[in-house]
Structure 1
Amino acid sequence: MLRSEDGWMDTASSLVSASRGWFQRRALFFKVIGVGIFGLLLLIPLGMVRSVLWERQMRSAEAVNSITETWGRSQRILGPVLVVPYTWKAEFEETTVVEGRRVKEMKTAEFSSEAFFLPEKLQVAGDLEMSERRRGIYAVPVYAGKLRLAGTFIRPEFGFTGVKNPQPQWERARVSFVLSDLRGAREALVVNWAGKPAALQPGAQLAGFKKGVSAGVVVDALAAEQTFSLELTMNGSEALTVVPLGRETTVALTSNWPDPSFMGAFLPVKREIGTEGFSAEWAVSYYGRDFPQQWTTRTGERAPEEEIFAQSEFGVKLAPAVSAYRTVERAIKYGVLFVALVFTVFFLFEAVCALKLNALNYLLVGAALCLFFLGLLALSEVASFENAYAGAAAASMVLIGLYGWRVLRSAFRAVLVSGMLGGVYAYLFFVLRMEDMSLVAGTAGLFVVLAAVMYATRGLRTEVKAEETAAGAADVGVAR
């Protein structure tokens, strides 16, 4: 049975009408999906901003290295160590062949080695004057330190060597200091040993250490103790650490750096930090370290390795705890949140106020949000982070506010969007400036925002049901 042409047209018209009604009843669903896709697409420019951030970090690191290579890197002070060569005689049995017979006889030979002694008391006091060195737009904090090392050695005893009748060679004794970056030394180094000056020469002459200085000294075998002192003027950057070689080690440091970070195996027993700088004092006994007070390089024994000494070092870090690049990186992680919030506000205005926004509107608003992070990165390189953040946030708020005035068709709605965005920017700044509680504050903020969105959208599903009921009734009427 054939249908007439009018029948085919009526059937096609009914299918088109039913299909259109099906999409209209689910318009909200497809709108949400579309907005979500646009939000995901904006992850691409956010990723590009992150790649620019990494590039700028590399350039900053190159600038820092170029400055610290010539000025001086992080400084570690290890010393002094008193080295005393000694000899001893030992008998041994030797077998020889005489007229075809093996003959055993006792012989005596002289052996030599070196004994290493650490100070009884070590006192380090100094002042670190901070300044900036620049390479283009990059600034690097560096310091010029004036340090004084002083203390005493008690008379060395050789009973620990395990040999009989050791003979110390006091006239060949030397004292060694290990400095991690000798390029920072600004003056000739002279150690005062028992009241007599001795010029320090390059080379630690200490097993396991390459960088350092040493000088020959004469040890008075009859004196109960030997005093020493060293005036040290040196350049450095990033940090200054001391290895506690003394049986009792005390360190006192002052500086005009207002944001120190104390580091290492021991914390200060006293410290004062203010806007003008800091002062700190350490008191360390030899019980908190893993190397002995004396040792020898006699055959079969090993000297403590450099890593063992490094495990006991302590001091202060003289660099920003959180760099601007690190803060910008943390801010970019919240980029998706910014996009989701602003898109949600625009979507609510569109759903509640019967507005019609197209894909271009959402993409342009998302692009403005991404530009905030790029502007923050650019401004943070030439201004303080606070000023950079305020400038980038203000530009983003004004740009989105003026655009929203036109597409939302209301100055009040535009001001509302800008105000909401400003509140989010302010809260993000609060979170970024926190260190220990940033995760808690950020999570609490997300809960509040989600609750607000859920409250604002609580009636959308009811409205959709009413629309579906009306559309369904219309379809029934058409079918009849």
Structure 2
Amino acid sequence: MENPIELHKPSNAPKPSFLQSNTAKMIMVGMLTLFLLIPLNLVQNLIRERSERKNDVTQEVTETWGENIHFYGPILKIPYKTYSETAIVDEKSRETIIQKSASIQYAYFFPNTLENKTEVTKVDDIKRGIYNPIVFKANMQFNGNFENAALDKLNIKTEDVLWDKATVLIKTTNLKSIKSDLKITLNKKKFSLESKPDEDNYFGTLETETFTYVPNQMIAFNFDMKYNGSDNIQFVPVGKTTTTSINANWDSPSFIGSFAANDTTKQITSKNFHADWKILHINRPFSQQYDTKIPDLNNYSYGVKLIETVDQYQQNERASKYGFLVIGLTFLIFFLIQTISKKSIHIFQYTMIGLALIMFYTLLISITEHSSFTIAYTIAASAVIIMLLLYSISVLKEKKFPLFIAASLTVLYSFIFVIIQLENYALLVGSIGLFLILGAVMYFSRKIDWNNN
């Protein structure tokens, strides 16, 4: 028996081209995603440019209003004579003659006690255009005393001291922005402070008129200083016992320098802060007295810096760093919907979607400069979500999937906003969120037959 011959009719169905396959579409969407990094990078450059402009304006304002305050003093300054001998040979007698000459040097003594109370008031009405730099007024009150000047520790003989030429000097930055009458009271007698030239390129020097220092006599002092300042205020603990108290109407202080504020008395509220320091001479690696020259003690200062925890440009820059994630996930959502619903989305339409996502960041930075970051983020995200909702309804010719897209974008933008606001837990929350997003993508794509596409 012969086997029947099976006749196969040729199929008339055309074989789909590679360009129409899902693989090709995935490649094109991936290349488009990478291409959109170019305008995203331009937006990031715009954010940096605006941030630099803000820094330039802030520097311009602080140069005229007042820069940071760094205070160092008061210091007791006592002149004394030193002698040098020079051997000279007489040409006629050939005898060696010793000539003795005197020169004036200075000894410097730090106070035994130094107490400081400072009130810092943030000034809100100093604006330049759309920018509002952090500037303040500082009212500082000082009191304390000098005890016996330890001349013996510097090997200075009492007979060489010019007792009637003593002065008190103060070193401080920002001399041009001092707003108070410069007087200091020494044992109930007032002395004027005048600016003096100094070799120090960082600190300016204020010095009193001369007075007579009586050995072994305590000198009590007190004085006030009022400044216009900006950014930070710092002190050098020159007292054998130095205590400092700072109050300010600012909610975001950063305590800086070599000495920490007292944790038991430090208070920070939504409107102001208070901080105390108490520093003993054994806590710092420098002496109470020096001869010839005062050393550079900048590295041993302490104080507070008024900061913006995350300013508007930092928030915009952090948001733009998630741009690639937003574009990639949005394209992935559209691609999965296209694959599941068998509806075609042209690469040009993907391009329009990507450009709308890029526009979010330009809207965000422009609105933020005239409002708060939260309001700007809400407006920009809502505008982009509504635009993509209407566009996807037009492309997909239905409402079910566009509503899902709008809901997904709302969750995505909300998730990124939460990450931007977090500081200590940003990495943890971000990692958990990305894990959940990956799980959702795996769930919705599990039934797609990739072999037939």
- Tell me, yes or no, whether TM beats 0.5: yes
Structure 1 unmatched runs, 5+: 1-13, 469-480
Bigger Cα displacement from structure 2, 310-319 vs 343-352: 310-319
For residue 124 of structure 1, the aligned residue among 110, 116, 120 is: 116
Please state whether the residue corresponding to 1:139 is helix, strand or coil.
coil
Structure 2 unmatched runs, 5+: 1-9
Please state how far the C-alpha of 1:221 moved relative to its aligned partner.
1.6
Please state how far the C-alpha of 1:161 moved relative to its aligned partner.
2.3
Matched ranges for 1:22-171 at <5 A: 23=18, 27-89=21-83, 92=85, 94=87, 96-97=89-90, 101=94, 103-104=95-96, 108-132=100-124, 133-164=126-157, 167-171=160-164
Please state how far the C-alpha of 1:188 moved relative to its aligned partner.
2.0
Q: Distance in 2 between matches of 1:450 and 1:171?
A: 82
Q: Distance in 2 between matches of 1:229 and 1:123?
A: 9
Point out 4+ residue stretches in structure 1 off by more than 6 angstroms: none
Matched ranges for 1:62-461 at <5 A: 62-89=56-83, 92=85, 94=87, 96-97=89-90, 101=94, 103-104=95-96, 108-132=100-124, 133-164=126-157, 167-203=160-196, 205=198, 210-269=203-262, 270-297=265-292, 303-305=294-296, 309-460=297-448
Q: Distance in 1 between matches of 2:54 and 2:160?
A: 57
Q: Distance in 2 between matches of 1:281 and 1:109?
A: 50
Bigger Cα displacement from structure 2, 43-52 vs 342-351: 43-52
Please state how far the C-alpha of 1:216 moved relative to its aligned partner.
2.2
Please state how far the C-alpha of 1:209 moved relative to its aligned partner.
5.3
Residue 478 of structure 1: aligned partner: none
Please state how far the C-alpha of 1:362 moved relative to its aligned partner.
0.8
Q: Distance in 2 between matches of 1:29 and 1:171?
A: 94
Please state how far the C-alpha of 1:217 moved relative to its aligned partner.
4.2
Q: Distance in 2 between matches of 1:214 and 1:464?
A: 84
1:281-322 per-residue CA deviation (whole Å, 9 max, x = no partner) reads: 11112233333211111xxxx6412xxx22111111113122
Kindly indicate whether the alpha-carbon contact (under 8 Å) linking 1:203 and 1:210 is maintained by their aligned counterparts in 2: no
**1:273 corresponds to which letter in structure 2?**
I
How many residues of Structure 1 are paired with residues of Structure 2 in the alignment? 440
Please state how far the C-alpha of 1:429 moved relative to its aligned partner.
1.2
Residue 5 of structure 2: aligned partner: none
1:364-401 per-residue CA deviation (whole Å, 9 max, x = no partner) reads: 11111111111111111111111111111111111111
Kindly indicate whether the alpha-carbon contact (under 8 Å) linking 2:139 and 2:224 is maintained by their aligned counterparts in 1: yes
Q: Distance in 1 between matches of 2:282 and 2:435?
A: 50
Distance 1:74 1:450, change over 3 A: same
Q: Distance in 2 between matches of 1:449 and 1:344?
A: 11
Q: Distance in 1 between matches of 2:283 and 2:397?
A: 71
Distance 1:22 1:407, change over 3 A: closer
Kindly indicate whether the alpha-carbon contact (under 8 Å) linking 1:207 and 1:303 is maintained by their aligned counterparts in 2: no
1:309-364 per-residue CA deviation (whole Å, 9 max, x = no partner) reads: 22111111113122110111111110000001110100000001101000111111
Distance 1:453 1:387, change over 3 A: same
Distance 1:225 1:351, change over 3 A: same
RMSD of the TM alignment (CA)? Answer: 2.3
Distance 1:464 1:222, change over 3 A: closer
Please state whether the residue corresponding to 1:311 is helix, strand or coil.
helix
**1:84 corresponds to which letter in structure 2?**
I
Bigger Cα displacement from structure 2, 197-206 vs 150-159: 197-206
Q: Distance in 2 between matches of 1:219 and 1:424?
A: 75
Distance 1:206 1:194, change over 3 A: farther
Please state how far the C-alpha of 1:183 moved relative to its aligned partner.
2.1
More helix by share: 1
Q: Distance in 2 between matches of 1:155 and 1:165?
A: 13
Bigger Cα displacement from structure 2, 412-421 vs 338-347: 412-421
Please state how far the C-alpha of 1:57 moved relative to its aligned partner.
1.5
Q: Distance in 1 between matches of 2:131 and 2:417?
A: 23
**2:447 corresponds to which letter in structure 1?**
G
Kindly indicate whether the alpha-carbon contact (under 8 Å) linking 2:78 and 2:108 is maintained by their aligned counterparts in 1: yes
Normalised to the residue count of structure 2, the TM-score between the two structures is 0.91
Bigger Cα displacement from structure 2, 251-260 vs 451-460: 451-460
Please state whether the residue corresponding to 1:61 is helix, strand or coil.
helix
Kindly indicate whether the alpha-carbon contact (under 8 Å) linking 1:70 and 1:183 is maintained by their aligned counterparts in 2: no
Please state how far the C-alpha of 1:98 moved relative to its aligned partner.
6.5
Q: Distance in 1 between matches of 2:86 and 2:205?
A: 42
